[in-house]
Amino acid sequence: MKDLRIETHDNLVKIAGSLDLQHFAEAREALQQRGGKREIDLSGLTHLDTAGAWLLLQAAGHAKLEHLRPEYQTLLELVKKAAPKKQPLPHPLPDWMQTIIRLGKNTLQLWPAAYEFIAFMGHAIVALGNIIRRPSRLRLNSITHHMEAIGINAVFIVSLVAMVISIVIAYQGQVQLKAVGAEQYTVNLIAVSVLREMGVLLTAIMIAGRSGSAFTAEIGTMRVRQEVDALQTMGFEPFELLVVPRLIALLLVLPLLTVLADIVGLFAGSFIMHSLTGMSIPEYFQRVRDSASWKDFTVGMIKAPVFAFVIALVGCMHGLKVSGSAESVGKETTASVVKAIFLVLMLDGFFSIYFQQVGL
């Protein structure tokens, strides 16, 4: 690009070459330091852009522009009209105050969010009721498709997590219980914690992260591309078509995955106990039978469909909440995973208290 040349004479500043964005800093400097010079000669100007024109306009407040070519005159007038009116911007509040305001706003959002979720849950229950009355409306294809995506494709990762958590419990328990000479009781610890808590809880968390997020992203993308609107105009109930199959699939699959996690967890425990204490595998399972009962297994299994219900609903609800932009798909997906995991953990706490009270 051509250069910018600025010369200073007695009462005159000569600007030649290109006065543009790429020479902005130079030009600004020179125009600021010109002191009391009252005239700016522009006869040598070969290129002027909006940024340059704006600089000239600022300088022209107290100087005369000479020998300006007519085509630059149009540009100057255009920029003059477009130039921002110098009005002080509203002073932003300090950061700490904004944080407090945001906190307040988010807190106020809690009630509407809870209300929304309860309304959505009601909608889901009504839709399930309708399906039971007219089973022909059940979309079996869609349900089996989702069962494969949520269930079969998750078998490996759910097993792996169940195995790892069983190993962790065994190691930690064995170290602590050895100190009081109750090493064999590690088996009780593994059996009860896997069956009552860990099997179902970790499976639910994995599925919330894996499938709850997928529900939100899938339905959300359909909203962005107006597919949901298209369904509606064709006389479909988006709820029945998008939410119900996912809900039923997850209700069926999460208990099955929980059983899998329980089995894998117990087996992993047997291997780890064998390698840590030399306990034989039949002896391990005998101890499992002595320490844990069907009651423990039932407690875990009661929780599975409840968690499934919450994960599916949160995932679908946030998917349908997506509005227009691609960015909101990401935002809703994050919200859906965080909310689903939080609700699962909170419900698990309630269940613990409840089962304690009723003596299960």
DSSP labels for 135-188?
GGG--HHHHHHHHHHHTGGGHHHHHHHHHHHHHHHHHHHHHHHHHTT-GGGHHH
Q: Which stretch binds other proteins (CB under 8 A): 2-10, 81-89, 199-207, 262-270?
A: 81-89
Paired tokens of 351:
């269940």
75 binds other proteins (CB under 8 A): yes
Least Å from the CB of residue 81 to other proteins: 7
85 binds other proteins (CB under 8 A): yes
21 binds other proteins (CB under 8 A): yes
Residue with smaller CB distance to other proteins, 286 or 334 = 334
Residue pair 284/187 in contact (Cβ under 8 Å)? The answer is: yes
Residue pair 16/45 in contact (Cβ under 8 Å)? The answer is: yes
25 binds other proteins (CB under 8 A): yes
Residue pair 49/4 in contact (Cβ under 8 Å)? The answer is: no
129 binds other proteins (CB under 8 A): no
Least Å from the CB of residue 335 to other proteins: 16
Residue with smaller CB distance to other proteins, 76 or 192 = 76
Q: Mask of contacts with other proteins, 26-65, x by CB under 8 A?
A: -----------------------xxx--x-----------
Paired tokens of 95:
């950061």
Number of residues near other proteins (by CB under 8 A): 25
91 binds other proteins (CB under 8 A): no
221 binds other proteins (CB under 8 A): no
Residues 321-340 that bind other proteins (CB under 8 A): 323-327
Q: Which stretch binds other proteins (CB under 8 A): 76-84, 111-119, 281-289, 332-340?
A: 76-84
- What's the DSSP call for residue 279? -
- What's the DSSP call for residue 22? G
Q: Dihedral angle at the C-alpha atoms of 112, 114, 120, 125, nearest 10 degrees?
A: -150
Distance from C-alpha of 20 to C-alpha of 117, rounded to nearest angstrom: 56
The helices-and-strands tally (H runs, E runs) of the chain is: 15, 4
Residue with smaller CB distance to other proteins, 57 or 127 = 57
Residue with smaller CB distance to other proteins, 49 or 348 = 49
179 binds other proteins (CB under 8 A): no
Burial of 227 (0-12, 13-18, 19+ CB in 10 A): middle
Residue with tokens 């477009």: 82
Give the residues lining the site for other proteins (CB under 8 A).
Answer: 1, 20-22, 24-25, 49-51, 54, 71, 74-75, 78-79, 81-85, 323-327
